[in-house]
Structure 1
Amino acid sequence: MDSIFRKVERGIDAIFGDERHSHTKIGHECHEHHPTHHASNRYQSFAPQSTGNAKWYVDGCSYFWAVSEALENARESIYILDWWLSPEIYLRRPPAANERYRLDNMLKAAAERGVKVSIIVYREVEAALTLNSAHTRKHLEGLHPNISVFRHPDHVPTGYDIQKELGQSFSNMTLNTATLSKVSGDALKAIYGTATDGVVLFWAHHEKLCLIDRKVAFMGGLDLCFGRWDTNSHPIADSHPGNLDAIVFPGQDYNNARVYDFADVGNWNQNKLDRTKSSRMGWSDVSLSLNGPVVESLTEHFTDRWNFIFDEKYTHKNPGKYERIEFKPRHTHLGFHRRSGEHERGGFLKQDPSQLLGGLSDRFSKGVNKFMHDDSSSDEEKSSKRSHRENEPAKIQLTRSCTKWSAGHATEHSIANAYIDAITNARHFVYIENQFFITATCDEQRPVSNKIGRAMVDRILRAHEAGENFKIIVIMPAVPAFAGDLKADDALGTRAIMEFQYKSISQGGYSILETLQKEGVEDVGRYIRFYNLRSYDRINVSSTMKEAEKQSGVSYEDARKERDDALGSGYAPYGEQQSQGQGQYERYQQAAAQLDDSTWDSVSACYMDVGPDLRSVPWKGDPEAEISAFVTEQLYVHTKLLIADDRLGQYERYQQAAAQLDDSTWDSVSACYMNVGPDLRSVPWKGDPEAEISAFVTEQLYVHTKLLIADDRLVICGSANLNDRSQLGSHDSEIAVVIEDPVTVDSYMDGAPYAASRFAASLRRHIFRKHLGLLPHQRCDSPDPHGNWSPLGSHDSEIAVVIEDPVTVDSYMDGAPYAASRFAASLRRHIFRKHLGLLPHQRCDSPDPHGNWSPVDRGLNAYDWNSPADALVRDPMTRNFWNLWDGTARTNTDVFSKVFHCVPNDHVRTWKDYDDFFSRHFANPGTGKPGDAKVEYGHVVPDEFPGGVAEVKEWLSRVRGNLVEMPLKFLIDVPDIAIEGLQLNSFTQELYT
């Protein structure tokens, strides 16, 4: 059998095909050499292995709460890296009760305390993206002199005459895939600009990082921007006709990218998406907080990026306005370095080639994590080690993707190296949750270059040849988060990404599944499975809305918009409010308060653990309206009052009217699919049944996570997607950490006792329980008492981090006892529980009692080890688990297909099938024109349910969690789904891979 070293060497060698560097193939040298310590570091990362404490957050609710705690306690510095930063984002919800926790208010308050705030955001091509980084910089720098914002890169025009080629000026141009497919290479260069070395700046800064006082770090998949905040039950309805102050997603934060993309985000309250007709799109994500020595690696990365941009842009521009940031390592004795060979501009002096490979074989041999493989100790020794390791910090290593244009360095792709290493050396399973899945098994799949898919194939073939029980689970979005009907010309980019993904997975001749079948693996589903996530909810458009409008004399929309305008205009810090009168909002609220409306504003709790039964959730109004209220979608406040003629403002008049109404209708029913949630069939509705049918909606739950968990012992988490853009190093800039927690928990793997890592096992179990509906409904307004809403420690002690928690937990793997990493196992289990609906419904306003809304310095993740729900996801390799996992996915898939005609769908194999199954029933997403007898996108087709709303609820009450099967046969009989009358050119192909 090959040595582990040779297996890793062969896997790393395959990552990039012809684009090899010394850090992807042993024995090959970069044309620009890394320093000696660079070559000797595991994964050939710039950062050595380090230590620290790690805390996970599944979804934005708890993560943003923890960030708000850390920002509130910042005393010296705040450093932020983001792809997109929205100054008006609320870190705590609902906004009306959390004025002080809007991001711009928090940064201003910190600056006024003397804290230096330094922010780097991606400078977009304005014709292609709607991030408005110019607004971010202008707004934040206008708050206080202590706030500095860099935008990078500058897309310097080449002088090419775009107007002559395209017939329109660049300033009036809107770039979409149809436009890009037609332009020449010269025009693209003119649009995106070039770096000093001639590289066209197609690529983005994609890191997400927030550093507080150089002591606590936040990182992962979540930007501090609109559309990312969400609870683990993912409510996609948010109308609240009985109380506008209960709105959770104000302005453009109520977003569904499948219907309308963000637009004019500088005027964030201008939202084209009608929340009384369209659902939002839920956002599933994972982020971390870290403390200890590893924070120095992250600080070094930030200061390196900051000083590179300063030297490139500000040595002559705006002299004196900005300054370089000095990096002072505290833990040099732990392996951190001062880069004595560093150029002033952040590059490295060339090293003697003979020094490049020093220790490299040892690095890879040791890089095959001894912790993951050393099971030779006796049970007594393991028990003793665990007791001594209870407070031992995790092994954490920072990895990144960067190159000359993004950081002034030779290309580094240590994230890809870490992915390959983790897959190659996994013993039992690999869990991947990612926004994209574009990879190759061979060079014939050009233009895709990364070979992470090849590593998956090779690992599965080893398992198949050895008769091992080995699994890879991949969760990803059903559809990329771009607006419009999939058949439309403007959806060329959406279809192109989908085609690249299907050719990576199951189509085209060289995909992972086809390659395995060619190699003799008949039952590929035994080894690798793909899944999506989906939500449903019920929009509260019960009769309470009409009654409040009638009594107040104000329309709901006018009152809500007035309230959004007030929420968006900013607040006097820390509650210093100035009342200027009342408007439509108050009049509506007063009227609504007088109404008896039992209709829930969301029913998302119904598919969470111990959630209500959807069939019992009340509705006020006719059944037809309730059917129309159901929707589905994929899972991607200082009031200023206006007095006019001594009358109340629209907001005040509405609120006063609503306050007089008795409305029992729930504003969301998402709790119904969570653990111990209410029965949807008993959830009240005020109004006619027809209106309730129309109120049900669905959408995919958008997967934005960038996560890999191996064997409940190792976690890779960061900003990097699984595609060329994130993995090659020469494209987007990224960070990720690799975490291995030494503290173990008793677990099982494949039916046998197993010491799982506390961190990995708790995260994986939590996620699984969420997906399965085995978590309780989550409140948004109140941290749980267990502390998982707080950040990690503030004491001294695209990027990704490698986290290896040496603390293990007793677990099971493949039926046998297994020592899982505490960090990795808890994260994986939490995610599994989330996807399976085995987490309780999560409120947006109340941190959970276990403390998982706090920073890491307030305590590590709390997790309910060995609870009934936890036991269901403890061992991901047994027949019982797979019966639960696949059974949940199959049932949910069937229900969503029946009730909502969701696409993609395995029944849709051709464009004619697409028209018959979807187009003839629904208006095109975002058109706002239902047409003859067509219903709104994402709603129920009432004519298909002769039993009315009761029949709809009967079907939907079967949904648990958000897990659904990925439809691998979607449009399988269409030769080329991307090209439907249009052609991608070679330049735009790179953009989508």
Structure 2
Amino acid sequence: MNESFLRQTRYLVTFKPHISKHSVGLFDETLVKPGAPISIYRLVFTFEVKYQHDRDHNFDWFIRRTFCEFQELHQNLLKEISRGNMLTVPLFPDGEQFLSSTPDIQLEYLENYLLALTGQIDACNNPEFWSFLEVSALSFDGASKKRKEGYVLKRTGGRISNERRCFNCSKHFKRLQKRWMIIRDNMVGYLSTHIRDTLHEVLMFKGRFEVEYGLKETGYEDGIRIITLRRDFIFRAGSILKRNEWVESIQEAYNQSEWHNEIIRYESSFPVRNNNYVKWYIDARFYFNEVYETLKRAQREVFISDWWLSPELYLKRPSKKFDYSQVCEILGALADRGVTVYVHVYKEVSLALTINSLHTKNTLQRRNPNIRVVRHPHRSAVGGEFLWTHHEKIVCIDQEIAFIGGLDLCYGRMDTNEHLLTDLQEPYFWNGIDYSNVRIADFSEVANHERDIIDRNTHPRMPWHDVALKVVGKAAADIGMHFIELWNHVMTDITGAYYKNKDLLQPNYSNNRRGGKKRSVVEMSRPISVNSSLSFLKEEAKEEPQSISESLESSCPAMQRSKSHGFPENLFQEQIRERGTLSLSGPSRRINVAELDKKIEEENNQSIDTAIHIDRTPLDSNTKKAVNNLISKGGGIIEESTDRKMSVVGDQLTVVSPLRKNTQSIVLSPITDHQRQIREKLEAEDEAKLQKELEADQEEGDEAFSKNLLHPKMKELGQTGTCECQVLRSAGLWSLGLEHTEHSIHTAYLNLIDQADHFIYIENQFFISSTAGNPVKNQISQALVERIKCAAKRKEKFKVIVVCPLLPGFEGSINDPGAAVLRVQLHWEYQTICRGINSLYEQLKSDENIYDPLEYIRFYGLRTHDMLNDTPVTEIVYVHSKLMIIDDDIVLMGSANINDRSLLGSNDSEIAMIISDQKKKQSIMNGQPKNKSCFAYTLRISLFKEILGIDDEAIIEDPLSEAFDELMWSTASSNTALYKHIFRCYPDNEILRISDIVGFESQAQMNDYVVLRENFKGFIVDFPMDFLRDEDLRISIFHKEYYIPDVNFV
């Protein structure tokens, strides 16, 4: 017996199939003249194979074999005897009596031969017999049904992201490789051989999935082409009969797949999922705790994707009490007991960002080498990837439970709903660099995590407000699917990390399908048929006439010709929904959603070069003269005193300059030249390692990277909750290898704004949108304008509340000469909201039906205060949420900001989810009874209780009531006035120019704090619309950032 084979297929060593004859037919009846004798070499013999994998899983399938294939099997088994892998083989039926028999008798002879083989243990576990029966190491692994498998010749190349690289020479040189193709419940893939259990490719049925075949479409008569958003995959089946078998098997699998009859909205890659359990979290404390508790229960695999992951972060606090809750420790413990852990982190520009993803990778893998960590992307100025980031925040356990939202597992995020400014008593709640305020000092040297980067005795931390969710059910499996697609793209992206021994991941989907609106199906170049017996598929009548021998029909009743060799041409066309059209849950009711959404598609078609120029500060004659003088003297552009770096708090790639305040009480540890050299050496070693692997992989082909790819696993997921969910994302060529950019988060925003009847609540880290003017393309603010105008015209009561940070989260003061990026972020936000004729407020003011825009939309920020060693202190509460609530009924939550970076799809990669709870709560909206979604309603109520500092639910139940309006407005106005009187802190409407700041701050009345502090309520304050109104906040030519493309800031 083949011991090596048994080791590789250890879980199937008891393979014992039952084989029975089924039918016999012609290989190609066009070669047989009517009335002529039928040669055995023209026949195809069909057998049914049954196998009981375990007590609960029985599989049956059909194999079609020619006599030549039987002869080949027998010869291969004889060779196995000579190798010592088998003792004997049955007598092969090839004598004169056999050859002169009728096809039916020959079928019986061959059946007896196969039955004799199944009676031999060494034959049943021989790879040659497995191949003949279309059995591989993955045939029964989590599958609901045994489907078509077999060896084919696949053509190399075809991955969209790699084919478009101008430096990829391999795209011009194709070759054919022998590979084992396998069709599973939700995908088509291939292995190097049938005895290995590592897939080389995963072509999911979701999204675009087109099948073409024949000479014209593939260049081969027996060729098949599968086109997805990521790959144009061509393989040769070996014969026209085999080709047709593959095509009909693919169609059958697709028609029975998870993706065939699903409702698709908003041009997402994922359908609407019912019966999910979803739980929301406000701020990080309980979220991190739940992530920890759920990770402990992982059984099979864990997927994590973060913009920044801090391996030493404690998920439970205080850390001295829960020292076992470090991210690296919990992941290491999982790996110790056999759970596979996959971690994907954004690979930063090391000269600009200080998040040190290499430290993340090395720390996790030192804890356990079986923790797989990949960083992406490699930098390619050609494609512009240096501008964009992987921004998703995902934790997925066993493809059944998933966490998403705005919270990375990193420093600076942990907080409670109290948003404390101080932490002076040990054991500390915020240890080391986790006690942070990036407005004072950004993160640096994150590997040295035990030290303080600000003095907690003199400086307050910056509180962090965020939201996230946990989902259990098929929507969680969809999030796992997204991670799998991301992982597999990274593994095959030639600008990314090529790794040896790669493990393909697979989604964990149920085979139960529910009905619904049909989405695009397998698109065929010609119609095909599926026949339980022998099907002869015709490309065209003139190529393969449908005649068959009358004598053979009469002598072989089991071999009757199919009456219909194909469906009508228009059957598939009726099922195909064009991917280029906007998919809505219904027609736009108030605004032209399709027209707005189309505007960003135009942007996605532009190259990066067309978007580099922005509206900079114009140069007057004196400035031009000064610049010319500098250049003529060889001085170049004015250099800043320290190296620029990225803001970690913004968690999107934005270049900023470091702090320039001379604050002696802050003990900073600037990176030394020696430390910088060490880090550059480590990065260079990591790059060299990846380059070496890439070169080796190119020599070895796809065999080298197959072990790391991920593929779907099937598991029954019953009803777990009451929420209807849909996964959305922003993804494109660089981030996910997609041929067509997906911006379903943007599309969903527009549709939900259009669908809102009464009320919209938004929390977001940014609010930069098209009303700011070029180059901003996303249409969120314009959709709000149109919706409000519609409500005003119809005299409907309608309200929008937006909560966002008072200031961008960048290091330094607004009047710091090096704070150019901080100011330009304010420029774009104010241009979006209230400055310029096209801004949101200015458009509303110009509408004849609107007397006061504030009646319809208001912007707020959050701020808090405390005593720090007898000194009053205040700081903004940094809003990092990415949330929209519609009518207390629908929630959109995820990682996407309201800016072009997050919403265009071609820039940063993002993930989000729409949640609509079918469990309703009787409540009030606009003074009328309304059944509200329990998930949305309880989330909004909890948020409002936190930001308003109240416990009374009744007054905030109806967000359109006068009582609520008065409470929100009066609380914000009162808090704003108190902060202005006591602290004289900015931003404030009284500060119109930067030069006003010093005089404004000098009027602070700190001594009144103790008396007035009880008058503060919650955290809400007015967003100052006139702050720096008379200041030009755009980047001037005297800053390095002037030469960074505009698209980086919006």
TM (normalized to structure 2)? 0.56
User: Take 1:282 and 1:980, find their aligned partners in 2: how far apart are those partners?
Assistant: 34
| Residue 519 of structure 1 pairs with residue 847 of structure 2 | yes
| Residue 194 of structure 1 pairs with residue 194 of structure 2 | no
User: Take 2:729 and 2:453, find their aligned partners in 1: how far apart are those partners?
Assistant: 37
Q: Match of 1:433? A: 763
| Residue 748 of structure 1 pairs with residue 924 of structure 2 | yes
Q: 1:103 to 1:871 in 2, by over 3 A?
A: same
Q: 1:365 to 1:248 in 2, by over 3 A?
A: closer
Q: For 1:72-471, list aligned pairs within 5 A.
A: 72-155=296-379, 193-194=380-381, 198-240=383-425, 244-245=426-427, 247-312=428-493, 317-320=498-501, 322-331=502-511, 333-334=513-514, 357-358=577-578, 363-366=583-586, 393-409=722-738, 410-441=740-771, 445-471=773-799
Deviation at 1:973, TM superposition (A): 1.7
Q: For 1:596-615, list aligned pairs within 5 A.
A: none
2:873 aligned to which of 697, 701, 714: 697
2:761–2:886 CA contact under 8 A, matched in 1: yes
Deviation at 1:39, TM superposition (A): 12
Q: Match of 2:267? A: 44
1:398–1:735 CA contact under 8 A, matched in 2: yes
Q: For 1:826-865, list aligned pairs within 5 A.
A: 838=951
1:42–1:367 CA contact under 8 A, matched in 2: no
User: Take 1:419 and 1:484, find their aligned partners in 2: how far apart are those partners?
Assistant: 33
Deviation at 1:975, TM superposition (A): 3.8
What amino acid maps onto 2:381 in structure 1?
T
Helix, strand or coil: the match of 2:386? coil
Q: 1:959 to 1:308 in 2, by over 3 A?
A: same
Q: Match of 2:865? A: 536
Q: Match of 1:965? A: 1022
1:329–1:338 CA contact under 8 A, matched in 2: no
Q: Match of 2:906? A: 730
User: Take 1:338 and 1:102, find their aligned partners in 2: how far apart are those partners?
Assistant: 45
Helix, strand or coil: the match of 2:367? coil
User: Take 2:905 and 2:579, find their aligned partners in 1: how far apart are those partners?
Assistant: 23
Q: 1:33 to 1:114 in 2, by over 3 A?
A: closer
What amino acid maps onto 1:147 in structure 2?
I
Q: 1:272 to 1:295 in 2, by over 3 A?
A: closer
1:79–1:212 CA contact under 8 A, matched in 2: yes
Describe the superposition over 1:946-978 as per-residue Cα deviations: whole angstroms up to 9, x where unpaired. Answer: xx4xx3222111111100000000011224455
Deviation at 1:331, TM superposition (A): 4.4
Describe the superposition over 1:26-84 as per-residue Cα deviations: whole angstroms up to 9, x where unpaired. Answer: xxxxxx99699799720010001112111000000110010011011112111101000
Q: For 1:463-862, list aligned pairs within 5 A.
A: 463-520=791-848, 521-539=850-868, 541=869, 626=870, 694=871, 696-774=872-950, 838=951
Helix, strand or coil: the match of 2:493? helix
Deviation at 1:323, TM superposition (A): 2.0
Helix, strand or coil: the match of 1:120? strand
1:431–1:473 CA contact under 8 A, matched in 2: yes
User: Take 2:578 and 2:820, find their aligned partners in 1: how far apart are those partners?
Assistant: 48
User: Take 2:880 and 2:804, find their aligned partners in 1: how far apart are those partners?
Assistant: 8
1:913 aligned to which of 996, 1003, 1008: 996
User: Take 2:948 and 2:576, find their aligned partners in 1: how far apart are those partners?
Assistant: 48
User: Take 1:432 and 1:313, find their aligned partners in 2: how far apart are those partners?
Assistant: 39
User: Take 2:522 and 2:934, find their aligned partners in 1: how far apart are those partners?
Assistant: 38
User: Take 1:884 and 1:980, find their aligned partners in 2: how far apart are those partners?
Assistant: 46
1:876 aligned to which of 955, 959, 967: 959
Deviation at 1:495, TM superposition (A): 0.5
Helix, strand or coil: the match of 2:770? coil
1:43–1:417 CA contact under 8 A, matched in 2: yes
Describe the superposition over 1:724-766 as per-residue Cα deviations: whole angstroms up to 9, x where unpaired. Answer: 0000000000000000111111111112211111000000010
User: Take 1:95 and 1:367, find their aligned partners in 2: how far apart are those partners?
Assistant: 52
List runs of 5+ in structure 2 lacking aligned partners: 1-206, 208-226, 231-258, 525-569, 591-718
Q: 1:360 to 1:732 in 2, by over 3 A?
A: closer
TM (normalized to structure 1)? 0.59
Helix, strand or coil: the match of 2:977? helix
User: Take 1:92 and 1:990, find their aligned partners in 2: how far apart are those partners?
Assistant: 38
| Residue 955 of structure 1 pairs with residue 1012 of structure 2 | yes
User: Take 1:288 and 1:703, find their aligned partners in 2: how far apart are those partners?
Assistant: 17
Describe the superposition over 1:916-968 as per-residue Cα deviations: whole angstroms up to 9, x where unpaired. Answer: 113x58xxxxxxxxxxxxxxxxxxx5xx35xx4xx322211111110000000
User: Take 1:315 and 1:360, find their aligned partners in 2: how far apart are those partners?
Assistant: 29
What amino acid maps onto 1:277 in structure 2?
T
What amino acid maps onto 1:880 in structure 2?
A
Q: 1:369 to 1:34 in 2, by over 3 A?
A: farther
- Pick which of 55-64 and 743-752 moved more: 743-752
What amino acid maps onto 1:125 in structure 2?
V
Deviation at 1:767, TM superposition (A): 0.2
Deviation at 1:201, TM superposition (A): 2.6
Q: Give the aligned CA root-mean-square deviation in angstroms.
A: 2.9
Deviation at 1:315, TM superposition (A): 10
Which is greater in Rg? 2
Identity %: 36
1:435–1:477 CA contact under 8 A, matched in 2: yes
Describe the superposition over 1:176-195 as per-residue Cα deviations: whole angstroms up to 9, x where unpaired. Answer: xxxxxxxxxxxxxxxxx336
Q: 1:316 to 1:111 in 2, by over 3 A?
A: closer
Describe the superposition over 1:761-790 as per-residue Cα deviations: whole angstroms up to 9, x where unpaired. Answer: 00001001100112xxxxxxxxxxxxxxxx
Deviation at 1:914, TM superposition (A): 1.7
Q: Match of 1:168? A: none
List runs of 5+ in structure 1 lacking aligned partners: 1-22, 24-31, 156-192, 343-350, 371-389, 542-625, 627-693, 775-837, 839-868, 922-940
Helix, strand or coil: the match of 1:472? strand
1:420–1:455 CA contact under 8 A, matched in 2: yes
User: Take 2:725 and 2:347, find their aligned partners in 1: how far apart are those partners?
Assistant: 30
What amino acid maps onto 1:226 in structure 2?
Y
Q: 1:259 to 1:331 in 2, by over 3 A?
A: farther
Deviation at 1:986, TM superposition (A): 6.3
User: Take 1:41 and 1:403, find their aligned partners in 2: how far apart are those partners?
Assistant: 19
Tell me which stretches of 4 or more aligned residues in structure 1 moved more than 3 Å: 32-40, 313-318, 334-342, 351-363, 365-370, 975-988
Describe the superposition over 1:100-139 as per-residue Cα deviations: whole angstroms up to 9, x where unpaired. Answer: 1111111111111111110000000011111100000000
Q: 1:65 to 1:881 in 2, by over 3 A?
A: same
Q: Match of 1:615? A: none
Deviation at 1:293, TM superposition (A): 1.1
Structure with greater contact order relative to length (CA < 8 Å, sep ≥ 6): 1
